[in-house]
Amino acid sequence: MRLTLKRFVVQPDQILTLFKHAPKKTTVAFEMCDLEDGGRVLADCVRDNQNPAALSLRWTSFDNHSFHIFCDAIRVNTSLRTLHLVHCCKNSVQINTLTAALADNHGLRDLRLVSGGLTDEHAFTGLCRAVGRHATLEVLETRSCVAPWQSLSLSRGTALYKQLLEMLQKNSILQEIRFNFNIAMPTTTPTD
C-alpha cells in the first residue's frame, strides 16, 4: 500500500498519527509538502523506529537543524527498508551529513538519492564510501540534476565511474545501481 500526501502543510500530530497507525508494509510519501515543524517529529519517529518500511520525500525538505536530527535518526534506525530523497538535500553539506549517517545504518535495502549537490566531488565520494561499507543496501539509485543545458566534463564523469567501481569492490551486497549524471560525451566529426 502507498499513501501519498501532495502539497500538504503537514502538522506534527498528523505525522505521529500516520506513523503510529500505518501498517509496516506501507510506503508513506510526502511530495512538495511543508513540514510544519521543519521535520523534527518525522525525524523523531524515524529515530524511534516508529515508521513504515518505506519513506519517500520528494521536494519536501527539512530545516537545517531538523535535517541533522533526521540524519542522526537514519544512523540508528533499523526498521526503514526503503528511503527515497528526491530534491530534499539542499546542498552538498546536507548530502555529506546524510552519507555519514548512512555508513552506520543497519537496515536500509533501497536508497534513492536525487540532488544537484551530488555533483560536488566530496559529496559523491562520501556517498560511495558509505555505500561501500553498508551491510544491507541492495539497490542504489543516484542522480544529479544539473540544469539541462549543463553537463559534467568527461574527466569528471570518468572519476565518478571510478568511484562507483571502487564502491562495488567493497560492497558485495549491492544488486542494482541506477546512476544518472549528465556527462558530456566527446563529439566526433565524421571523416571522409
Averaged pLDDT score across all residues of the chain: 87
The values of phi and psi at residue 66, to 5°, are -65, -30
pLDDT band, very low/low/confident/very high, at 123 (cuts 50, 70, 90): confident
pLDDT of residue 72: 96
Percent of the chain with pLDDT over 70: 88
Gap between the terminal Cα atoms of the chain: 59
Q: Is the pTM of this model over 0.85?
A: yes
pLDDT of residue 61: 82
Beta partners for residue 71, in sequence order: none
The average pLDDT across 22-27 equals 89
- Which three three-digit cell numbers place residue 9? 502543510
pLDDT of residue 24: 85
pLDDT of residue 84: 97
pLDDT of residue 34: 94
H or E element in which residue 73 lies: helix 64-76
pLDDT at 59 over 70: yes
Query: Cα separation of 69 and 73, whole Å?
Result: 6
Mean pLDDT is lowest, of 57-71, 112-126, 129-143, for: 112-126
pLDDT at 110 over 60: yes
Query: Cα separation of 73 and 46, whole Å?
Result: 6
pLDDT at 62 over 80: yes
Cα separation values, 92 from 10, 103, 122, 151, Å: 26, 17, 8, 18
H or E element in which residue 162 lies: helix 154-170
Q: What is the pLDDT of residues 72-100, one digit of tens each?
A: 999 999 999 999 999 988 888 899 999 99
Contact 154, 188 (CB under 8 A): no
Among residues 70, 126, 83, the alpha carbon closest in space to that of 103 is found at 126
pLDDT at 43 over 90: yes
pLDDT at 153 over 70: no
pLDDT at 184 over 60: no
pLDDT at 101 over 90: yes
